[in-house]
Structure 1
Amino acid sequence: MASSFSVNALTPVEVVEMITATGARKGNMRLDKVFFSGVSAGCMLAFACATVLSTNTAPWWQENAPGLIRTIGALVFPYGLCMIILTGADLCTGSFMFTTLAVLQRRLSWYKMLTHWVLTFLGNLAGSLFMVSIILGYGDILSAAPYSTEVINFATKKQVTPEWQMIFLRGIGCNWLVCLACFFGIQGRDLASKVIGIWMPIFAFVSLGFDHVVANMTFIPMAIWLNAPGISVGLYIWKGIIPALIGNIIGGGLFCGTYYWYMYALDENLSVGAIKGLVGKKGTVSSEDIESSAATVTAPVDKEEKSA
């Protein structure tokens, strides 16, 4: 008996449509919700950053097998992005892809896109600094040796040692992978598929030592909190925020958002309604799949937002 094989996932064209619809929806959210969604994402990523710092606190391994301990740390870090994507919280880095696609598809204005970027960035920063000061700082989670030593050494390697342009280039590679994780998170139809899809690119960016502007909001301020020598607020803004942010915008907005729009949306006239019309054809997505996939990456929208 002949058997057929089908992949239980959305096609790239369908994923791009979902990203576009999600970007438009996020861009039209109430501004206070955008900000607090960013705060939530910053807090959740800070948990993962703290786990990486704790995992990396292994002096013998750092001396004798630094690549291996970095790989182990990279294996645990992706749970932060899983929590963010699956709860629909907003990282500014993911927004660079979502809203860029929505703008290119003329479903969102440039003004609303930039507003969303600014608010999610500020929300991410507020959430990260809350975690650094209140939960990790006054909670005395990483303040004692040898954890404090690892925090300072880690931040020094990220902030003091590399040149500005190096951090910029690492930022491009970082958000290229982070937005691929968002892409795969939408592409899978079930929870396990989404988690695995998110996990792989995030593991890649951490294991390669790339720079994520929101992760840096925990790594570097935590070192400043512990009075790391040679690291100041000014240095953090100049080398921890600016080059990583610009690189992340290019990696997410150009290398992912614009590229996938060019490949799968520029010459396509495929909307969510058109995708639903494909129901019943072999190997295509069902309307229930579209709705459930959207629910994992979008926050609730008020009635007035739906009409915006």
Structure 2
Amino acid sequence: MISDVDMLCKLGKIKYQLMKTDPLRFFVRAFMAGAYLGLAAILSYTLGALLSDHSVVGKIAVAGTFGIGLVAIIYLGAELFTGNCFVTIMPVLKKELKVRDILPMWITCYIGNMVGIAFICFLFIKGGSQEAIMTPYLKGIMEAKLHFNAVELLIRGILCNFIVCVAAYSGVKVKDDTAKLIIVMILVMTFVLPGFEHCVANGGIFAMGMTQLGNTVDWSLMPLHMLLSTIGNIIGGSVLLAVPVYMMFKAPKEKNM
């Protein structure tokens, strides 16, 4: 029976080979992952804006619906940077690949995700849908996101991708589609509801905010926010989850006779 480490290594090397042999196709898969998350952002943030007078209900609605993006990525086949931080680090831990081998894949995936989600979110705002309620709602979100403590933001990024990668890991392990759907949706709700930081999702919400609010907001801290949330996400997936999983399921060393 194949171990979890071997299974994840195989998946990681498939992604690596796809990037190596057909980088355009890999980029398109990354773009579509961002686009799928963009659809989830449209749904969840529209619900949040509609229910802004009922803050608790609105937050639950946002958290409860955002998971549809990860479900689409898992079922439709796309490349999400945060999930790849977990899967593609396994061949590195097993010494079958080096960090320098997977870095181009991570960078391509990250850019593709950001372009995809930013494009969909830009189109949503430019379409003028729900403009009257989205403007004050987005302004409140931007004010909250752009006033942050750097250490706290980093920790929220770590916890976020630990949870996202547990969801991705569950998506690989769980075979029953109904169970998989429920687990993924609940786990995504687990990181959205407390306000943890997902770098790709942040790319979408910042795209909405910049398109809708323009120069009415000071965006000077946005690059630092994105950098810290991205570093936190990498640590959460590649260290906090991947290392313990590797240690639990790696093949035992053979004793010398």
Q: Give the TM-score of the pair, scaled to structure 1.
A: 0.76
- CA RMSD after TM alignment: 1.9
What's the CA shift for 1:156? 1.9
In the other structure, the counterpart of 1:243 is 228
Aligned pair 1:185/2:168, yes or no?
Answer: no
Structure 1 runs of 4+ off > 6 angstroms? none
Deviation digits for residues 83-108 of structure 1 (CA, Å, limit 9, x no counterpart): 01122211110110011112112333
5+ residue gaps, structure 1, are: 1-10, 270-308
Show the counterpart of 1:55.
47
Kindly tell me: are residues 94 and 174 of structure 1, through their superposed partners in 2, closer, same or farther at Cα, counting changes over 3 Å?
same
CA distance in 2 between partners of 1:189 and 1:59 (Å)? 37
> Partners in 1 of 2:253 and 2:241 — Cα distance?
17
Tell me how far apart the structure 2 counterparts of residues 14 and 231 of structure 1 sit (CA, whole Å).
49
Between the aligned partners of 1:26 and 1:127, the Cα distance in structure 2 is: 19
Percent identity between matched residues is 25
Q: Which residue of 1 aligns with 2:7?
A: 18
Match of 1:282 in 2: none
Q: What displacement does 1:266 show?
A: 5.2
Measured in 2, the distance between the counterparts of 1:147 and 1:268 equals: 57
Aligned to 1:117: 106
| Equivalent runs, 1:34-113 vs 2, <5 Å | 34-57=26-49, 58-62=51-55, 66=56, 68-113=57-102
Kept after mapping to 2: 8 A contact 1:103/1:109: yes
1:164 and 1:266 mapped to 2: Cα distance? 39
SS of 2:210's equivalent in the other structure is helix
Contact 2:113 2:200 in 1 (8 A): yes
Q: What is the rounded CA distance, in whole Å, between the counterparts of 1:86 and 1:249 in structure 2?
A: 23
8 Å contact kept, 1:188–1:197:
no
Distance in 2, matches of 1:86 and 1:102, equals: 23
Larger radius of gyration: 1
CA distance in 2, matches of 1:268, 1:153: 54
Q: Match for residue 259 of structure 1?
A: 244
Map 1:264-275 onto structure 2 (within 5 A). 264-265=249-250, 267=252
Give the letter aligned to residue 264 of structure 1: F
Greater helix share, structure number: 2
Is the contact made by 1:92 and 1:121 (CA closer than 8 Å) also made in structure 2? Answer: yes
Paired residue type of 2:144: K
Letter matched to residue 73 of structure 1? V
TM-score by length of 2: 0.90
**Range 94-103 or range 25-34, more displaced:** 25-34
